[in-house]
Amino acid sequence: MKLQRMNRRALALGALAVSGALALTACGSDETGGGSGGSSSNAAAPSNIKCDDASGQVLADGSSAQKNAVDAWVKQFSAACKVEINYKAGGSGAGVTAFTQGQVPWAGSDSALKPDEVEASKKICSGGQGIDLPMVGGPIAVGYNVPGVDKLVLDSATIAKIFDSKITNWNDPAIAKLNPDAKLPNLKIQAFHRSDESGTTDNFTKYLIATAKKDFPYEGGKAWQAKGGQSAPQSSGVAAQVKQTAGAIGYFELSYAKDGIKTVAIDTGAAEPVEANVENATKAIADAKVVGTGKDLALELNYATKADGAYPMVLVTYEIVCDKGNKAETLPAVKAFLRYAASEDGQKILAENDYAPMPEDIIAKVRTTVESLS
């Protein structure tokens, strides 16, 4: 298992060295596996972190999906600069509210700012407004627990039917057709979804709506809407239920697919089914379009991508900050921290922690925008 993780890290770092798409992914809000203990990286703080005049303490709030990424960044940044970053990770909604009320100078959100939130931000961004900077990506894995089945391929229509209680047994013909070599048991499917409002649910259902609307006739959103199934709180709860329940299937960030939890490869129509890993998630984000205006870099993800090796079930977390009118006392620290997070070193740390680095063309725009913050 350790060797596999080392190989995955090596592949992810290798992907960063390639230009363009290969240097080349989204909850409220999910926490990533491993708790709040921070980075798994033991590397010394990069010597090229630019601290400028950064000092003091910075409070921030928002998406808990990116908490482990922020912890990893803070570990390196604080070792180089005399700045204490306290990221609460209270959820995307809480983060945006705290930002638009002027309680924090930056926030994390798995959804781009809505028009009313942008309008609200103008009250605290003197002469400017809040903007979205895509900084962290990651695959939403579909984990399963089917005794005797080590590899499983599903397509979006089959996933939609499973989570809408239209396919209820593991030896269903639709599953068997996609897995001709698997010994599928006569076992009831136990589908688990989130009980709390979640950006992971939002992005998971966006994928199903974009690719299998006929089989998933719902509006989507952070609250689960489909019929039947069982629920558990937070991604950690869903993963725990999948691990301990024979016949279970559920969705959560890739960092929860550990301790023996197997993940589904998705038949997207590409040449081969696509595995859930950071490299493949980054390739999918490379197919996204920047739809924000001005300095805003909100993305429109292509959930229906059929590009070879692109894992389509992804989420992107944005760092939200004022483009102009930032508070003078926190601007140097916020700017220095975001500069490091968007740097090559900062993005490499993502790959080491089961997150997907941003595509090179997107992160280049983020770097330029960070330098222009005032």
Name residue 83's amino acid. V
Q: What is the distance between the alpha carbons of residues 69 and 38, in angstroms, rounded to a whole number?
A: 8
Query: Average pLDDT, stretch 94-115?
Result: 94
pLDDT higher than 90, residue 159? yes
pLDDT in tens, 115-146: 999 999 999 999 999 999 999 998 999 999 99
For the chain, give the percent of residues with pLDDT over 90: 71
* Contact (CB, 8 A) for 249 and 162: yes
β-strand pairing of 230-232 with 83-87: unpaired
Q: What is the distance between the alpha carbons of residues 69 and 102, in angstroms, rounded to a whole number?
A: 24
If DSSP codes are grouped into helix, strand and coil, which group holds residue 366?
helix
Secondary structure element (H or E) that encloses residue 45, with its range = none
* Contact (CB, 8 A) for 260 and 159: no
Q: What is the distance between the alpha carbons of residues 104 and 373, in angstroms, rounded to a whole number?
A: 16
Mean pLDDT of the chain: 87
Name residue 153's amino acid. V
pLDDT in tens, 319-358: 999 999 999 999 999 999 999 999 999 999 998 888 999 9
Nearest to 223 by CA among 250, 194, 244, 252: 194
Name residue 294's amino acid. G
* Contact (CB, 8 A) for 73 and 341: yes
191 strand-pairing partners: 249
pLDDT higher than 60, residue 6? no
pLDDT higher than 70, residue 7? no
Query: Average pLDDT, stretch 216-222?
Result: 93
For the chain, give the percent of residues with pLDDT over 70: 87
Query: Average pLDDT, stretch 166-180?
Result: 98
pLDDT higher than 50, residue 205? yes
